[in-house]
Every structure is written in structure tokens, then in C-alpha cells.
Chains A and B, each alone.
Chain A
Amino acid sequence: MEWEMVIGLEIHAQLATKTKIFSPASTAFGAEPNTQACAIDLGMPGVLPVLNKQAVRMATKFGLAIDAEVARTSVFARKNYFYPDLPKGYQISQFELPVVGVGELEIDLEDGSTKMIGVTRAHLEEDAGKSLHEDYHGMSGIDLNRAGTPLLEIVSEPDIRSAAEAIAYAKKIHSLVQYLEICDGNMQEGSFRMDVNISLRPQGQEEFGTRAEIKNLNSFRFMEKAIAFEFDRQMDILEDGGKVVQETRLYDVDKGETRSMRSKEEANDYRYFPDPDLLPLVIDEAYIEEVRKELPELPNEKKHRFITHLGLSAYDANVLTGSRELAAYFEAVAEAAGGENKIAANWVMGELSAALNKENTKLSDSPVTAEMLGGMIKRISDNTISGKIAKQVFEAMWSGEGDADTVIEKKGLKQITDSGAIESLIDEVIAANPAQVEQFKAGKEQLMGFFVGQVMKVSKGQANPGQVNQILRDKLK
């Protein structure tokens, strides 16, 4: 039987506020345990939450960016359960009335097509602390630094049908929240975490199968592997005539498999109810318009502009708008290059990306700035250097030898365009290879490449290849 998988994603994006969602404690990552937890985060008696307005602004931005309804009234609710890293015995979240309602997001697939994925809702909530199970002599340690960190939980419709779509969607959200500057997107530090709901059904069947939820994935690669594993696991069960159990599963990175965490029967009854310590969150039209004005150009708008105004291919535009930072870098390169947009795109996606990957360097730390790269491209387009020499120039810039003009000057890489100079180089080559000249004249025209190569070699690559070709042809006639 052919099985179709149905996937819905819940993404937790940590909002980039300076302080926690309900307390004035700092959200900075990596501090000593329990040094960034105040009485409110500790759930001390008598303390009260006060909503961080910045978190609301960020959630509103997200809602507007996916064309969703931003709720004029939303309600914070308590999700009640006991766990040592949940200090109050409840998490403040949103349940029936989330701040962001139904929206949608266009994703780009590998074959160049696009697909709309529905977003059911996005709501604000606080993160829990962390339980540390090592180094406590058989006991567990609790670190509440993370408790109260603001999260935006983004829930998708079950519109996703493959691991590739799931990844395209997750990456799109990942890029969007960074575009909006509402989340740093740092997956290693847990700023962006994904839960995958996955079920199988026979191809063509409308009804959904029973789903399992894989919790807390913090890399796209793990998510892909977890989905693949889960697809096989559920298929094996179903093909053996068994039933998938509705449960929460964890992906074991070392073993490359998912395992059961808790089943539906063991699941908590969270006893949600509106938090009486917080008033309903009311957002008016004027506020929404104010936030709308703060929105940056969004990835899709930017992509279309890159295609229509900058003349890029859809593929290039898609890659270059993958992150706000990359897009900004590219635009700066193109501007410095005097409008050589296509060449700028090639260099950014080619040499620059390769160098960044090879050296494991972040774009923001690139030794070659956008101005430097653009300046170099300008020297290609005004024929000061050839594309081939440009690679040498780029390498020199990367190793800190200065900008393109400095490198060209210092290393004498300027292209030879003086016909007299090129002629004498060609004469030299013709004189040194009488046999090949004979053969060429006898009709072996393929040898043209050999002569060009020899001339370039003698010129150390600096001769203008077009002129070399032209003059060679004249001389060998």
C-alpha cells in the first residue's frame, strides 16, 4: 500500500526581548545557574506577573508578517502541571484566545514550485526552567534562568506532506522570525525548537491517521531524520495490521531513532483556565498600524523585488533572501559593484559562501566586506582584471591583504590590454611552438585553445583573453 504522511509543526521561537515575559529578569543566555531568576521566576509566594510589552509587539509583528488576524482581545491562561523546573506549578500560556490567529506562509520546494502552508495560530507563553540530571550525586539540579523566557509558539495546519516540505516550512519560519528581528534563531542555544506531529494514511484517504508527536527537535537535519524514522516505524506498524499509539516521542540523536516519552493515557489534564493575575490583552487598530509601519521588507517581497528589479533568477533570489543578513550583504555588494547584480549574486553564492563554509565563519565575521567584494566586481566589469584573476584577488582579500585595488596594485595583477604588449607575447609563443603552428595551419583548429593557454601562461594570466583570441587568429591565418 502507498502511504501518505501528514505533518503539522509546532515551533517555539524564543522572542528576543531583553527581559522575561512576566518579570524584569534578564533573558541573556549562558549565565551561571539561577543567577537570572528573580522572585517572580522562582514562583515565590505573593509574586505577580506583569506582561512584557515588547513580547506583545514581537508577536504582533509575526502576525502581520503572515497576514494573520491579530486578536483584538487575547487571554493568558494557566496550564497546570507539576514539574520541578516549572516553579509555579503552571505555565502561563494562551489557550482559547491566542494573540495571533489564522495565517499562511508560502514555501519554496526544491523543484522550484511553491506551496501554501496554513498557520493555525501563534501564541505567547513562558518557557520553563531546566532540569540538570548530571553532577548532582544522583539528585537533579534545577536551573531557572530560562524560566519565564518569552516564547512564541507557532502552530501549523496539518498541510505538510513530506520531510522536505516540513524542512522548507521550518526554514521559512526560521528566516522570517530573524527578518522580523523577533528571534535570534540560534538553534544550539534552544532559541528555535520544533515539535513534529506526524501520522500516516493510505494514499487517497481523507481521514487522518493516529499521530505521534516528536518533541523538541533543534536542528533541521535531526528533524529530517526523525521524520524518516517515524514514517518507517508507523508504516511497519500499520502494514502489520497494528495501530499507532497517540503519544509523545523523543528523537534520540545518538541512536537515530524516536522513542516513547508518554502516551495519551499518561498525558496530563492541564486544567487550563484564564489567569486571574493578568487582564485580557487588548490590542487596538492604532497599535497594529504603528507596528505595521515598523515591519521590514519581508522575504517574499524582497524575493520578488530581486527578480523584477534586480533581474535575478527565481533560484538566486530565493537563496539570497534566505536570511535578512545575506540579502542585505548581497544588496550592498550589488550597489558597490555599480549594478552588476548577476555577477554580484554569483560571487556571493559562489566564492563567498564557499569560503565562509570552508572556514566555518559567520557572514557577519567575513573578512571580505560587501564593499570590498563589490569593489572587486567593479574591476572585473571595467576590465581591470579577468574573472580568473579575480579569484586570486578574492583569496588575497580574504587573507587580509587589503581591498581589491590594493591587491591588484601590490601584486601587479592588472590585466594586459595593450595590443602591442599582447602581440609580442603571442609572437614569443608562436616562435616557441613551430610544430603546433604547422599543424594548425594544416587545419587542426582545435589547437587554438593550446595557443591561448600558452599566451595566458606567459602573461601570468593577465592578458585580456578576448584580445589574445582576436590577435592569435589574425597572426595564425
Chain B
Amino acid sequence: MKEKTLAELSALIAQKEISSVELTQYYLDRIERLDGGLNSFISVTQEVALKQAAAADQKIAAGTAGPLTGLPMAHKDIFCTQGVRTSCGSKMLDNFIAPYNATVVEQVSNAGMVMLGKTNMDEFAMGSSNETSYYGAVSNPWDTDYVPGGSSGGSAAAVAARLTPIATGTDTGGSIRQPAALCGITGLKPTYGRVSRWGMIAFASSLDQGGPMAQSAEDAALLLNEMAGFDPKDSTSIERDVPDYSANLNDSLKGVKIGIPREYFSEGLEGGVENVVQDAITEYRKMGAEVIDIDLPNTNLAVPTYYVVAPAECSSNLSRYDGVRYGHRCDDPKDLEDLYKRSRGEGFGDEVKRRIMIGAYTLSAGYYDAYYLKAQRLRRLISEDFSNAFSKVDVIMGPVTPNTAFRKGEKADDPVSMYLSDIYTIAVNLAGLPGMSIPAGFSDNMPVGLQLIGNHFDESKLLNLAHQYQSVTDWHRQAPAGIE
């Protein structure tokens, strides 16, 4: 059962081979039995799940079910869930229960899916290793001494270990794609504005985007069909028709132009990773795609630009956590300033504090022009690199990360080295483009991801390319040993 994809489970349910309650119980049992060593869930919502499953079974019996009715899933703990704690991986929100659902949660629930629980993540989505979570580090199912990546590390590990058939994630600088690569699963970050951010706790508002984390491109398409769409409650969501993302999965790749950015294959890229990526590109050639070398000359500016823009936005977004209305409040504050300082000092972890301080600094009088404004200009240059490239090619391909998963603790004290692990993913967020990570092989027995970058709203094309690759390879079907 555990090796079944969401699409396959959907067929089983439709054929009444298994009920939603049985399937839900199956995954709840797996979580119970196996998550102790992984720590991929912050909350397991057994009661809610079984109730939703029972309701789904009634719909199925009544013949009013949709394709995802009754299928279990998990939400990254950044999506607000009414009545269920939403912690964002932080002590600050350890006691926070939202009185509303995120739009994504609402859509998935309206599709009849069953929520197994809320997955672990780096605190406020700040991190690339899932080590900054207040709820402890998450282990990579392929080797529990290694990190799963972050910030959606819990979702990636849970899907990789088949503790859930599928999960949601969010990606601000690579937080879906990098853990997907490091855990050997399929992750898609949609175009900025494609998926509503309402109820998705903000890290950096102009970069954050939710998306599916799945076992296959076909599964990702199924979930994206539910997640995507205009939301009048999110002013940055885009009013544009949502295509059926499953419709073009089988299109031929003959004549598709794939751009390979030279800058993504320069120093810093580990040899084992490069080999896997090159092999994947060869596979695409075999399927009839045309491979073209391209330049993204401002690639080296992406990380510094990101580390001005994202902290600036985060420093302001996280100001609301002040201990006044909800969230962590220090004991016996002696005055207002003490309340602020201790509530925030105790509630936030080191990485969050570091980014708030960087952000407050770059926005302050006298530094704003030199940092924030300049970063905005660089952001435009980076976007222009991509628009130039997309005038020549249909899709851009390269590595997701320079290395495979690193050991826990290895980079914990070296933030810059940690930040550099997002070097290939960050530019995509700065340009608001859709990006995907799909499993393409192994280096030293750890998974390697292949990144696909599309033009704005070209999610269907990315899914088509990913699905075609997954039709001729089986990397995505490989599961970590030892987790039975």
C-alpha cells in the first residue's frame, strides 16, 4: 500500500477497494509507528482525520465524490487550520489556534481530502535544514543522521517515508524544491500569485508561495488543481483561469527547447550531483527535446539580493508577534518594553532573530537606499535574465542544490554556508517563476534533484516534462530502505 501514489490510491478508492477510513487509519498507524525517528509531524490530527474520512466515505457511497475525496494528506504547519494548532515551527505560536482556515486548507478540504496532521518546518520557514524548528530537527528518511532540507523538511520527509501520500509546502527561496531534492520527492513551487497566501503565515510576502510536495508529477498536478486559483482575500493572487494541470502530462517532448544555464554548472557544484543532472538532461534529449546552453549572468547576485529582500520583509511581518494579543507572552512583564523584549526574546529562535535584525538594519534610515532599494534593482536584473532566456527556450533545467543532504549540525553554526545551499533556487522566487524539483538519481546513496524552471504560469509545461521523465525512469518510485 505504501508504495502507491496519490493517483493510484484515488483509483483504489473509486473502485471501492479500500475505504477512506481504512486508508486514513493505515497512514495514521504508519505515523504512529515510524515518525518517532523522523519527527516529521508537529501535530497528528487523528480525530479530525477519521471524522473527515468518515464524511468522505459517505460522499463516495453517495456518488458525489471528486477525484481526491477521501485521500489523506498533510499540511505544513505554516497553513492556518481552524481549531488545530498552527505553530509555524516556533515557540512563539506554540499555543496558537487560528479561528480561520488558510484558503489552501479550505480548498483541499472542499476537495474532500483528509488532513492527517501538520508537518514540521524550520521556524517561520527560515532555514534550509529543518534544524531551526522549536519542535526539534527532522531526520532525512534516507539516512537519519542527515537533514531533510528545509524549510518544508517535515513535509518532504513525511512524503519520502510514505507517512502521507502527499503534503503541502511553501517556498520562499527554495523551501519546497530543496527538501524535495534532498528527500527524493517531487515538489512544485507555482508562479507567485497562483496559490493564495491567505492564512499562510508570512515570512517574506513578495516571495512566499505554497505548492504540492508529492511522490510524482502526476500527484503534484492533482493537488495543484485544488490549490491554485484567484483569491479575493489575497491582493497579490492573480485573477487568471486555472488550467487542468493533469491534462497535458502526456504531451510529447519533441522539439521542446530546454535551456541549460552555464552559471548553474560552475564551481561549487558537487561532481556527483552534476553527473546525475547531466544524465537526466541526456534522458530528455532521448525523448526528443532540444538542449540549448543559455546564460543567466546575474545568478551570483541572487543570494545577496535575497538576503536583503527576505529579511527586510520578515522583520516587518514578524512584528505582530509582540505578546499582546496571542502567542508567547513572557511571565510578569514589568512594563511594556519588558513585555516586548522578553516575549520576543524568548519566543523566537536564533535564526529568526538574526533575520529580523538584518532586515531592520537594511530598512533603517541611511541604509535603505544602499540595501533595500539596490536589492530591488538587482531583483529586476535577475528577472530580466529569465525573460531573456525564455525568449529562446521553453524550460530551464539544472541542479536544485549544489550538494546532497548534509549531516545534522554540519552547517548549523555557519549561516552563510547554509544560505549558499539555496543558490540555484532563490533566483526563481525573486523572479516569481514556477520551479520544480524531481528525483533524478543518487550521489553517495543520497537523493539528487533535477530542477525545472518555467516561465510565468507554465506549471502545466513543467508537470508535462516531469511526468514524461518519470514515465521513463523510476527514481521517484524508490523509497528509503529501513522504513517499512
Contact = CB atoms under 8 A, between A and B. Distances in A.
Q: Do A and B come from one complex?
A: yes
Interface of A: 39, 42-51, 78, 80, 82, 84, 87-90, 142, 269, 271-273, 276-279
B345 to A, nearest CB: 14
B15 interface: no
B80 A46 contact: yes
A80 B201 CA distance: 19
Interface in B181-230: 197-202, 204-206
Nearest to A49: B235
Interface string B311-343: 011011011111011100000000010001000
Given A45-B86, A82-B340, A278 B235 contact: yes
A142 B336 CA distance: 13
Interface of B: 79-80, 86, 88, 93, 96, 98-100, 102, 197-202, 204-206, 232-236, 312-313, 315-316, 318-322, 324-326, 336, 340, 360, 363-365, 368, 372
Contacts of A82: 319, 322, 340
Given A82-B322, A82-B340, A84-B336, A271 B233 contact: no
B118 to A, nearest CB: 13
A45 B313 contact: no
A276 B320 contact: no
A78 B93 CA distance: 23
Given A82-B322, A84-B324, A50 B232 contact: yes
Nearest to B206: A276
A90 B235 contact: no
B416 to A, nearest CB: 24
B200 A46 contact: yes
Contact of B320 (A45, A48, A49, A277): A45
Contacts of A142: 324-325
Nearest to A89: B319
A47 B319 contact: no
B235 A43 contact: no
B368 A46 contact: no
Q: Give the interface centre of A39, A45, A78, A142 by most chain B CB atoms within 10 Å.
A: A45
Contact of B99 (A39, A43, A269): A39
A54 B48 CA distance: 41
Q: Give the interface centre of A48, A51, A80 by most chain B CB atoms within 10 Å.
A: A48
B197 A45 contact: no
Going nearest first, the 10 A-B pairs with the smallest beta carbon separation are A89-B319, A271-B363, A276-B206, A276-B205, A43-B320, A46-B199, A45-B201, A46-B201, A88-B320, A46-B80
Nearest to B198: A48
Given A39-B100, A273-B368, 20 more contacts: A43-B325, A44-B98, A44-B320, A45-B320, A46-B79, A46-B198, A46-B199, A48-B198, A48-B235, A49-B235, A80-B363, A82-B322, A84-B336, A90-B319, A142-B325, A271-B316, A271-B363, A272-B368, A273-B316, A277-B236
Contact of A45 (B93, B233, B322): B93
Contacts of A50: 232-235
Contacts of A87: 320, 324-325
Given A48-B198, A50-B235, A271-B363, A89 B205 contact: no
B93 to A, nearest CB: 7
A45 B88 contact: yes
Q: Give the interface centre of B99, B200, B322, B324 by most chain A CB atoms within 10 Å.
A: B324
Contacts of B316: 78, 80, 89-90, 271, 273
A48 B234 contact: yes
A46 B80 CA distance: 7
A80 B317 CA distance: 10
Contacts of B98: 44-46
Contacts of A279: 235-236
Contacts of A78: 316
B348 to A, nearest CB: 13
Q: Give the interface centre of B204, B233, B235 by most chain A CB atoms within 10 Å.
A: B235
Contacts of A89: 316, 318-320, 322
B326 A44 contact: yes
A45 B200 CA distance: 8
A90 B205 CA distance: 15
B332 to A, nearest CB: 12
Nearest to B363: A271
B325 A42 contact: yes
A46 B326 contact: no
Contacts of B312: 273
Nearest to A131: B336
B235 A51 contact: yes
B319 A88 contact: yes
Contacts of B232: 50
B333 to A, nearest CB: 10
Contact of A273 (B198, B233, B372): B372
Q: Give the interface centre of A44, A46, A89 by most chain B CB atoms within 10 Å.
A: A46
B363 A277 contact: no
Contacts of B319: 80, 82, 88-90
A279 B205 CA distance: 12
Q: Give the interface centre of B99, B205, B322, B372 by most chain A CB atoms within 10 Å.
A: B322
Contacts of B318: 89
Nearest to B124: A45
Contacts of A276: 204-206, 236, 313
A243 B229 CA distance: 60
7 contacts: A45-B321, A46-B102, A47-B100, A50-B233, A78-B316, A88-B319, A277-B235
Contacts of B96: 45
A279 B340 CA distance: 31
A279 B100 CA distance: 24
Contacts of B363: 80, 271-273
A47 B363 CA distance: 23
A3 to B, nearest CB: 32
A82 B340 CA distance: 9
A47 B231 CA distance: 13
Contacts of A39: 99-100
Given A51-B235, A78-B316, A84-B336, A46 B202 contact: yes
A291 B199 CA distance: 35
Contacts of B368: 271-273
A124 to B, nearest CB: 14
Nearest to B99: A39
Contacts of B86: 45-46
A276 B365 CA distance: 19
A242 B413 CA distance: 54
A376 to B, nearest CB: 55
A90 B315 CA distance: 11
Contacts of B364: 269, 271
A39 B200 CA distance: 14
B195 to A, nearest CB: 13
A45 B102 CA distance: 10
Contacts of B233: 48, 50
A49 B317 CA distance: 13
A43 B98 CA distance: 12
Nearest to A270: B365
A268 B235 CA distance: 29
A278 B235 CA distance: 6
Contacts of A90: 316, 319
A90 B88 CA distance: 21
Q: Give the interface centre of B319, B336, B360 by most chain A CB atoms within 10 Å.
A: B319
A118 to B, nearest CB: 26
Given A45-B98, A276-B313, A269 B336 contact: no
B323 to A, nearest CB: 10
A273 B205 CA distance: 13
Nearest to B326: A44
A370 to B, nearest CB: 45
Contacts of A278: 235-236
A55 to B, nearest CB: 14
Contacts of B201: 45-46
A89 B313 CA distance: 12
Contacts of A51: 235
B336 A45 contact: no
